[in-house]
Chain A
Amino acid sequence: MTPPPAPATLSPLFADWFARRGWSPRRHQLEMIAAAEAGSHALLVAPTGGGKTLAGFLPSLVELAERGPRPAFGPGSGVHTLYLSPLKALTTDVERNLMTPIREIGLNIHVESRTGDTKQSKKARQREFPPDILLTTPEQLALFCAWDGARDYFADLKCVVLDEVHAIWSGKRGDLLSLGLGRLQQFAPAMRRVALSATVDDPEMIAGWLKPGLDDSVTIVRGDPSAPPVVDVLVSEGKVPWAGHTGQHAIPEVYEALKRSGMTLIFVNTRWQAEFVFQSLWAINEDDLPIALHHGSLAAEQRRKVEAAMARGDLRAVVCTSTLDLGIDWGDVDLVIQLAAPKGASRLVQRIGRANHRLDEPSRALMVPASRFEMLECQAAREAVAENAFDWEPVHTGTLDTLAQHVMGCACSEPFALDDLYTEITGCGPYRGLTYEAFEEVVDLVATGGYALRTYERFARIVRTQDGKWKVRNAQTAQRHRMNVGTIVAAATLNVRIASRRGGASKQLIGGRKVGEAEENYFEQMSPGDTFVFAGQVWAFQGINGMDALVTHAQDRDPKIPSWGGSKFPMSTSLASRVRAMIQDRDHWRVLPPDVQEWLELQEARSVIPDAETLLVETFPRGSRHFLVAYPFEGGLAHATLCMLLTRRLDRLGVGPLGFVCTDYSLAIWSIKPLIDKNGDGLDLGALFEPDMLGDDLESWLAESFMMKRTFRNCALISGLIEKRQPGNEKTGRQVTFSTDLIYDVLRRHQPDHLLLKTARADAAAGLLDVARLGQLLERIRGQIKHVPLERPSPFCVPVLVQIGRERVGGGQAAEMILDASAYGFDEETLIAEVMADAPPELAGAE
C-alpha cells in the first residue's frame, strides 16, 4: 500500500469557490486530488458527512476544468468519469450536489444520470452524445459491458468513482462490479479507480478488492474521525422485558424522545418491524407530529415523497430500515433511535452517522433493547462503538454464476479469446484464485448449460469463430441476454396493488395503483379476506393475478396475519463474543439495569452463568415433553442450521425430537423421550455436538431443503441458464416460466456435480446457513460443554421458549407441537411465573 501523497493545493478557480461558500478544503479532499495527479487508484475511508462525495468528484472536476471545451469527436469526446452507486435514489441526489459547484463555478461540464428507470429516448441520446460525467448503477455497468461497441464508447474513460463501496464489495453484486471494472480497464488502461467508503474495520481488504491486479496498489486516504457518538440505552420505566424483539413496551418513551428532538430517525431491522412501530406511534400521536415510514417494499413514488419531505425539513420522525442506511444527505437529523438490538457495531455506527452531519459535534443515539439478551447486546454494541471496534467481514471468493453472466455479456459485446479473458478476469479481486479448469467449466455453462450429456452443441448460445475466439450466436441471443442482465436476484416479489373489479361477465379482479412490493411467499399463506399491515395501513388480501397481489382497504384495524419474518441479520461474530464475555464478568453487570442484574443473579442461583468459552446446555422436563436449551450466541442462522442437524441426530438415536426454535442467543429442542436422564446417563453431549455433523448430515439435509432449492433458483437466474424475462413477455406472467425445483431434482439425480449445484451449495452454506460460523462454534466448544440438568426452566431460557408460543416452529411434527404449546402454556406470563416461583426475595425484583 502506498502512503498518501502530500496534499495538493487547490487551483484558484476552486479555492475561490470554497471561500465563497465559507468552507476550507479538507485534508482528505486535497489528498484525493494529489493521488489523482500522481495517477494512483484511491480509496477514501471517512465517516458520513465528511464531504466524501465532493472528495470523490473534485479531481475529475479539476481535470475537466483544465481541459476546457469538449472536442466533438476523437480523443476526449467520450465519457470522462463514470460514477457508480448502489441505490437508485443516490444518483438523483448526487446529481443535485454535483450541479452546485459546476453551476456556481461556471464549469462547462455535461452531467447525466442513468438507471433502469431512465427513458429510452434519453438512454439513446447518451449513447449518441456521451456526457462528461455519467452517474449510474452497477446494474447498468453490467449492461454496458454487453454493448456492441462498448470498447469504443469507453475508450476515453479516465476515472470510475464507486460510492458506498463498503455496502457492495463483498457479495455477488461486488463480484459483478469487479468484473465490470476489469472490462473497463481493458477498454481504457489508464483509467483510475476511486472508491468511497464508510469507516470499516480493515480498509486493506477493500483496497485489495479494488486494485486492478495483484501487483497494483491503491492509495488509502483516511478522513478525519468524527467525534465519538453519544450513545444512550433506553430502559423503559427501569424495566427490560424478559423476551420479545419488537420494542413495543418502549413506544411511549420513544414518542417522548421524538417530541424533545427536531428530527429523529428510528431504525429497525425488518420491514415488518417498521410497519408495526409506525402504527404504534401513530396510535399515540396526540401532538400530531408528522411521522413517516420508509422501507424497501414501499412503492418508489412513496419513498421519494418521504425523502423529499425529509430534505425540506417537514418531518419530525421517520421509521426506517436499512434502505435509509446509506449516506444520503437528508437534512438535519438530531437523534437516531435504534429500536431493538443493532446486530453489529458497524451497522450501528453507520446509522448513528446519519445524525448530525457536523463532524465536530457528537451524534446522538438512543438504543432501545426489546429483551434482556438484547440489553446485553446493546451494551456490548455501545462499548464497541466507544472503542471504535468494527465488525469484520469474512473473505469472499468470486461466485461462478455471476461470472457466467459476465462472460455472456463479454461475448455479446465483441468476440473474445479464452486465454485473454481468463487473464482479464483473474486480475479482478474476487477471482484471483480462479483456476483455468473452473473458467472453462463456466464457459461451457454459458455455451450449452454445462451438461455431461452433450446433446446441445447445435443450440449453443456462444460459438467459436474462424480464428478460435468466442462470440454470441446471433443478435437475438444477445438481445435476450441484455434484457436479463444485472439481475442479482432476491426473493421473488409480487407487486401489491389495490384491486378493482373489471366489469362485464368475467368480473375479474385487476390491479390498480401500486402500493409496494412484498415477497411472494408472504402471500402464499393467505386466503382472500385475510388482513395484514403494509405501508402503514391495513389491507385485505383478495388474490394473486400474475405478478400482482391484489388488496383492498380493510375496515377493521386488527390485522389477522402476523407480519412476515424475524430478524434478517444475525448478530455479528464480534458482537457475539463481546456479549459472551460480558455475561461471565460479574463486575461488568453493574452497568446494566437492576432488573437485568437480578435476572443474571437468578440464573446463577438456579443454573449456571456460562463462561465465554463454554457451551451451556440445560435440560429439563415440562408437561410431557423434554427440553434441551443451549446458548451458543452465534446468531439465528447458525442456530437454525445447528438445530436441524441436532434434530436429525436425535432422531437417529431414537429420542423422538419433535421440534425446535431459536434466537440469536439460544436454541431449544424438545422431544418425547428424555434427552439426558438425571444421572447424566443417556446421550453423550460431546458426541451430539461433534463437528462431523457438518459432513454427511449437513450434505443430505442441505440437498433436500427448500432453502437449497431457492438458492439454486437464484444461481440459475443469475447465471443466465434460466431467463427471467423474455422478449414480449416482460409484463405478463410470473417471473420464471417453469419451476426450477423440477430442474434441481432432475439435475441432482443425473449430474450431481453440475457447476450450478456446486455454486448453490456454496451460497447456501455461506449465506443462509452460516456454516462457517457454525463450524467455528463447534470447534470452539469441543470438550467444553457444560451440562446442567434442571427440574424446571431457567431464567435464561424464557426468551427462546416464548418463541414456541409465537413463531413458526421448525421440525417434522410442527403441527403437533403447536397443539401441545397451547395446552402447556408457552406464553410469557406462565413461563415467568414458573421461573420466579420460590425466588429468593432479593431477586424477586427480577420480574
Chain B
Amino acid sequence: MNAALRQALSPARCPSGGLRVHIEGEPCVLRCSGALWVLNHRTLIAADLHLEKGSAFAARGQMLPPYDSRATLDRLEAEIEALQPAAVVLLGDSFHDAASVGRMAADDKARLDRLAAGREWIWLEGNHDIAALAGAMDDLVGEVVETMSFGSLRLIHEPQPGVQPGEIAGHLHPAARVAAHGRGVRRPCFVTDGRRAVLPAFGAFTGGLDVRDPAIAGLFAEPPMVAALGRDRVHALAWEMLR
C-alpha cells in the first residue's frame, strides 16, 4: 500500500478480524460480514441486501432456494447482537423488487420488526426498491430517506461522480479476484481510499462486479485499497494482485 493511502486510511487489524480505517477522518470498521461499523456514532451500515431475490427468480420459473432472506437476516442479526448498534442504516436495494415485501415469509418479516425495535432503523432508497419501500410504508418498521449525513460521512445508495469526500455508498456490488497455483478466488470487498468508500453487497444471493471495472475504479483518482471478505478476516489486497 502506498504511503498516501496508508496515511489517509491508517488501517489496523481488529480482534474480530475486521479492518479499522479512517474515512474522511471518521473511524470505521470494515467488518467480515461486509457491513460498516461507524464507531463514534454506534451506527451499523449494510448495503444491497436484495431480500427476496430467491423468490423473485422463482416467480420467473427458476427455483432458487427460498432461504436467502433468512440467511441474510441471520447475518444481520449476528452483527446487531455483537455490536448493539444505536442505529442501523440499510444502504439501498434492501429489497430485490417491488413485490418483495409481500413475498416475505411471515417469520422473516417478524424478525425484521424485532431487530428494529429499540433503535433507529433507516431504509435508504435504492434503485431496485424505491417502489417496494414506497408501497410498504405501513408494513415496515423504520424511516425511509433518500440520503443521510452524520459526522463527516454522507450516506447514499449510488456513488456520485467526481470528488465526494465522506461518501459511503453501495449499489455497485464490488468484488475482487486473486489467483495463484492455477486457481482463482473471488470475494466481495470494500473499496476505499480513506476519503470515500463503496460497500460490498450484503445479501446472500448477490453477485459482484469486478473492482477494476471503470464504474468502480473510475471513482478513485489513485488505486484504492481493496478489502476482501475472508472467512474470519478482512484481507487488504494490493491493486496489482487483482486478476
Does A associate with B in a complex?
yes
Closest to A453 in B: B66
B182 at the interface (CB under 8 A from A): yes
What residues of A have a CB within 8 angstroms of the CB of B70 in the complex?
750
Interface centre among A525, A721, A722, A808 (most CB of B within 10 A): A525
- 8 Å CB interface, B165-213 against A: 177, 179-184, 204-207
Q: How far is the CA of A661 from the CA of B180 in the complex (A)?
A: 16
- B135 close to A (CB within 8 Å): no
Contact B62 A721 (CB under 8 A): yes
Chain A, interface SS category: loop
Cβ-based interface call for B65 (8 A):
yes
Q: Return the CB mask of B62-96 against A: 1 if under 8 Å, else 0.
A: 11111110110000000000000000000000000
A453 to B205, CA, bound (A): 17
Contact of B204 among A455, A525, A742 (CB under 8 A): A742
Decide: B66 and A524 in contact? CB cutoff 8 A.
no
Smallest distance from the beta carbon of B66 to chain A beta carbons, Å? 5
Taking the closest CB of chain A, its distance from the CB of B239, in whole angstroms, is 13
Give the residue among B67, B70, B103, B180 with the most A Cβ atoms within 10 A.
B67
On chain A, the residues within 8 Å of B181 by CB distance are 808-809, 814-815, 818
Query: Is there a chain A Cβ closer than 8 Å to B61's Cβ?
Result: yes
Q: Which residues of B contact A564 (CB under 8 A)?
A: 182
Q: What B residues does A459 contact at CB under 8 A?
A: 55, 58-59, 61, 63
Say if the beta carbon of A738 comes within 8 Å of chain B. Answer: yes
Q: Which residues of B contact A589 (CB under 8 A)?
A: none
**B102 vs chain A, min Cβ distance (A):** 12
Query: Which residues from B are CB-within-8-Å of A461?
Result: 61, 63
Asked if B243 is at the interface of the complex by the 8 Å CB criterion, the answer is yes
Q: Is the CB of A747 within 8 A of B61?
A: no
Give chain A residues whose Cβ lies under 8 Å from the Cβ of B206: 742
Bound CA span A743–B57, Å? 13
Contacts of A456 in B (CB 8 A): 55, 58, 63, 66
Interface bits A497-541 vs B (CB < 8 Å: 1, else 0): 000000000000000000000000100111100000000000000
Most buried by B among A455, A521, A818: A455
Is the interface on chain A under 10, 10 to 19, 20 to 34, or 35 or more residues?
Answer: 35 or more
Contact of B243 among A453, A455, A525, A818 (CB under 8 A): A525
Question: In the complex, which residue of chain A has the Cβ closest to the Cβ of B204?
Answer: A746
Q: Given the complex of chains A and B, what is the CA–CA distance between A723 and B62 in angstroms? A: 7
The B-contacting residues of A in range 433-459, CB under 8 angstroms, are 448-449, 451, 453, 455-456, 459
Q: Which of A456, A521, A737 has the most CB of B within 10 A?
A: A456
**Nearest opposing residue in chain B for A722, CB measure:** B62
CB of A822 closer than 8 Å to a CB of B: no
- Measured CB to CB, the closest approach of chain B to A56, in angstroms, equals 40
List the B residue with the shortest CB-CB distance to A562. B182
Minimal Cβ-Cβ distance residue in A for B53: A738
- CB of A679 within 8 Å of the partner chain: no
B110 contacts chain A at the CB level, 8 A cutoff: no
B66: A residues at CB distance < 8 A: 449, 451, 453, 455-456
Supposing A455-B105, A456-B55, A525-B243 touch, asked if A449 and B207 sit within 8 A by C-beta, the answer is: no
Q: How far is the CA of A722 from the CA of B64 in the complex (A)?
A: 8
The residue of chain A having its C-beta at the shortest distance from the C-beta of B179 within the complex is A525
Query: Chain B CB within 10 Å — which of A524, A527, A809 has the most?
Result: A524
Beta-carbon contact of B179 and A524 below 8 Å: yes
User: Could you list which residues of chain B lie within 8 angstroms of chain A, going by C-beta atoms?
Assistant: 55, 58-59, 61-68, 70-71, 103, 105, 177, 179-184, 204-207, 243
18 chain-A/chain-B pairs, Cβ below 8 angstroms: A448-B63, A451-B66, A455-B105, A459-B55, A459-B58, A459-B63, A521-B183, A525-B184, A706-B183, A722-B64, A738-B205, A742-B204, A743-B64, A743-B65, A746-B204, A747-B65, A750-B71, A751-B67
Give me the 9 closest cross-chain CB pairs, A-B, nearest first.
A449-B63, A750-B67, A524-B184, A459-B58, A525-B179, A808-B181, A746-B71, A453-B66, A456-B58
